[in-house]
Amino acid sequence: MRVITEFDPWKSRICTCPRKYSFNPYTGCAHHCIYCYSTYIPDFYRLRQKKMLLPRLERDLRTLPENALISMSNSSDPYPPVEKELELTRKAVEMISERNLRLLVVTKSDTVVRDADILERMRSAVSVTITTLSSETASVLEPDAPAPYKRIRALRKIKNSGIPAILRLDPVIPSINDHEIEKLLEKASFVDHVVSSTLKLRGDSYRRMIAAFPELKEKLREMYFREGEKLGNSWYMKKEIRKKILQRVAEKCEELEISYGFCREGLFFKSRSCDGSHLIQ
């Protein structure tokens, strides 16, 4: 089985991503975010190592066209805590760096800074997801991911190493982190690009959300399942509300002169890519 596959976000017709490949060094994820979109994968919250990862990666890399863009990772985090010891992602990054390819790293972990020495000498960009500045909110939303202040610090170090730095402000969740949009963008105003998106819900993520925030049970049900719309396998808030929320992201980014894009929203943005991959030269 391949470890690098064509990126195909659930065949979403509103995906604006450029053509890219997906590589997840691990199966499952140890960060246990309650809103996670990948939990349709069985036993997803249990992190597993892939058998023969590096030989399979070597084989798949040989099949990619020159200049191909690899996104690492889309449905798990490439830097789970065990990576500090195993260094599988580091070895994979090293292997990718030996070819004429582009790498977009997407993570919630500050461990990515460890690999800046390789990333800075290859064509890469690093996207760090930060949903809140509050450690308390993060401990409920993303209980086993590094604290927000560590992620901000990591993004700054990435930027200082000369690697394009991308803030992923995703998901924006009504009544939980939407009040922080401007503050968060100001805190990360040194980044080169911002990707943002509103929360999408499925049955399982809705159940986890209301278990953590029971006071939002009716509000989320109303906004998503009664007034919202279903696109693909996910429930969205209605377009006017999403537009209003993301307009705030757009306005603040314009004030701070940072490029921005939206992920799977079907909304207009001006930058050359939603995911920030245009920064990888």
Contacts of 175 (CB under 8 A, 6+ apart): 213, 216, 219
Nearer to ligand SF4 by Cβ, of 93 and 122: the residue is 93
In this chain, which of 12, 32, 187, 216 binds ligand SF4, going by CB under 6 A? Answer: 32
- Tell the smallest beta-carbon distance from residue 74 to ligand SF4 (Å): 8
User: Near ligand SF4 by CB under 6 A, which window of 27-35, 52-60, 178-186, 205-213?
Assistant: 27-35
User: Near ligand SF4 by CB under 6 A, which window of 9-17, 32-40, 58-66, 216-224?
Assistant: 32-40
Alpha carbons 79 and 69: distance in angstroms, whole number: 19
Residue 234 CB coordination number (10 Å): 18
Alpha carbons 102 and 204: distance in angstroms, whole number: 34
In this chain, which of 102, 108, 123, 150 binds ligand SF4, going by CB under 6 A? Answer: 108
Subset of 36-65 contacting ligand SF4 (CB under 6 A) = 36, 38
- Tell the smallest beta-carbon distance from residue 209 to ligand SF4 (Å): 13
- Tell the smallest beta-carbon distance from residue 58 to ligand SF4 (Å): 25
The candidate with the shortest Cα–Cα distance to 35, out of 173, 227, 224, 149, is: 173
In this chain, which of 21, 23, 47, 77 binds ligand SF4, going by CB under 6 A? Answer: 77
Tokens in use for 271?
């930058």
Tokens in use for 3?
């470890």
- Residue 188's identity, in one-letter code, is A
Alpha carbons 33 and 45: distance in angstroms, whole number: 9
Rounded to the nearest 10 degrees, the angle between the axes of helix 88-97 and helix 53-61 is: 20
Nearer to ligand SF4 by Cβ, of 129 and 259: the residue is 129
Q: Is residue 66 classed as helix, strand or coil in its secondary structure?
A: coil
Residue 208 contacts ligand SF4 per CB under 6 A: no
Instruction: Provide the binding-site residues for ligand SF4, judged by CB under 6 A.
Output: 29, 31-33, 36, 38, 76-77, 108, 142, 145
